[in-house]
A and B are shown apart, each in its own frame.
Chain A
Amino acid sequence: MNTRARWGKRVTFWVGLILAFAYFFPFFLVFVNSVKLKYDILANPLAFPAPITWDNFQQALTKMEFFRSLTNSLIITVLSVSLLIVFSSMLAYYLARTKTKSSKYIFLGLVASMIVPFQALMIPFMALFAPFVSWNNRASLVFFYIGFGVALSTFLYHGFISTIPTEIDEAASIDGASDMVAFWKIIFPMMRPITATVAIINALWIWNDFLLPRLVLTRETQTLPLSTYLFFGQYSIEYGQAMAGLALAVIPIVIFYLILQRQFISGISQGAVK
């Protein structure tokens, strides 16, 4: 390696390191201040905590009803993502294997719908579904997520199914399998990579979504982003507690990411490029 290349590498390394530090810095501020007393935060937000107090976390846990919000988020995300996988994989299989004009138009309609911003139909949406929502708002939220997520998920599955040869379906039907059995026993297991992509993309979206839950959920059923936002609004003057609340909101998804990092990155890149 010549000197120029070595210098280039050294510069890249330092630029990368400084940027990584900058990207992490806001989280550092949250964590470091979440264990400080209010007065110490205002005196110097950058200083390391001395003394350390866990009182902020205790307060935040109860005031933002952390475990209830976490449970709500988990239930809503897991249910919506599972149903999206089941429904959109079947729909994509049907659309990809039925070579009729109508199946082509349905697919084009789904693709075109992805350009519609939620805000463009938010008002008539709420007018239409207000009674439905008040009956069971968690169930209706899951229902809405299927409606809004089905287009992208079906699109991703559709692209993958097109690469599976139809001979496999034919062999299954000659052996006497109904198309439901053939799909779930043979085709679906072959689609594991794209199922991972669909799961990750939808889970990130639903876990972090704010606007739709804000319109649909009540205090008892609120998800983590919603309760964090409301908690921060109420207690932002109690800096320590507010920071502890933010730390609590950030930790679950970051741990999940660190465990499944490889799947996250490959899932996102597959989903984006399709």
Chain B
Amino acid sequence: MKFAGVPLAIFIIVLVVPFVNGFYYSFTDWDGFKATKLVGFANYTESFEDPRFWSTLKFTALFVVVSLILVNAVAFGLALIVTSKLKSKNFLRTFFFVPNLIGGVILGVIWQFIFNSALVALAEKYDWEMFKESWLQDTNKAFWALIIVTIWQSSGYMMIVYITGLISIENDVIEASQIDGASPVRTLFSIKIPLMAQAFTIALFLTLRSGFMAYDVNVALTGGGPFRTTELISLHIFEDAFAEGDFGTGQAKAVIMFLVVALAALVQVTISKRYEVQR
């Protein structure tokens, strides 16, 4: 099987080499073409002295936490609905999953039209105070706009993860709890959720990761505006490097992003694993 070396070589060239280069460049005076000397932690101190980087980090952290909670709460609710005894459950599942098929950029521009034009036009017509000015013109409201679109986009996917968890629970365990007189709510919290903890580990990991990496919806919905106040970390790095040409600090920020993602994922998985029941 000598051909197995081909994908491995491509993997190293495309992913490993730039990744290692990135670490190295972040300690040099790299300008995108050549690095002449090592500069120690200068790029990192410069990153942390950039007030906009701090506000991006805060904005990203808030986005990750809020989207993580809401996406998973909604997705779990959807999974409960489509695993119930309803006749229409397959039909409903189809609808909930559709936004997930479509790329974040297209979803983002659809909602840009909704917030900037459709809702504003309707607000004029029916006199709705809260939509008269586009939500995307205000930093706080734009944050919630990002959250709404993210829930709409990701909950269908996480729903599938939770469905897989819910249907993996043996029926006799649930029947036993019902015979013992447990209410449906009690069965849910004391039997179902502990037995499907693995699904939560996976879904939380996936939402955590996609929260940190969110770029498409951000660029298409708010574009970082108004005045770069709704920039998530990915867009911030992109703008730094490709719009402003700050390659050294841009790469230092990218390394910081990697460390934050890796650490957050490690902490989340360790905590979640503790709740998993061994069967």
Contact = CB atoms under 8 A, between A and B. Distances in A.
Interface string B236-279: 01100110000100110011011001100100000000000000
A128 B88 contact: no
Nearest to A95: B4
B169 interface: no
A134 B184 CA distance: 61
B160 A265 contact: yes
A208 B92 contact: no
Interface residues on A, range: 35 or more
A94 B96 contact: no
B212 A257 contact: no
Interface in A42-92: 42-46, 87-88, 90-91
A42 B121 CA distance: 6
Given A210-B216, A272-B202, A23 B98 contact: yes
A168 interface: no
B254 A116 contact: no
Given A154-B7, A272-B160, A45 B92 contact: no
B82 A26 contact: no
Interface string B210-226: 00110110011000000
Interface residues on B, range: 35 or more
**Interface of B, helix, strand, loop or mixed by DSSP:** helix
Given A17-B88, A19-B78, A123-B22, A150 B7 contact: yes
29 contacts: A12-B86, A23-B95, A23-B152, A26-B114, A41-B121, A44-B125, A45-B122, A91-B4, A91-B7, A116-B19, A117-B258, A120-B257, A123-B22, A124-B22, A143-B14, A147-B14, A148-B15, A180-B1, A180-B3, A210-B215, A210-B219, A211-B234, A225-B105, A225-B106, A232-B112, A236-B109, A257-B98, A272-B203, A272-B206
Given A146-B11, A151-B11, 20 more contacts: A16-B82, A87-B3, A93-B4, A110-B11, A115-B261, A119-B233, A120-B261, A121-B21, A123-B241, A123-B254, A128-B18, A143-B14, A183-B1, A210-B219, A211-B215, A211-B238, A228-B105, A242-B109, A268-B160, A272-B160
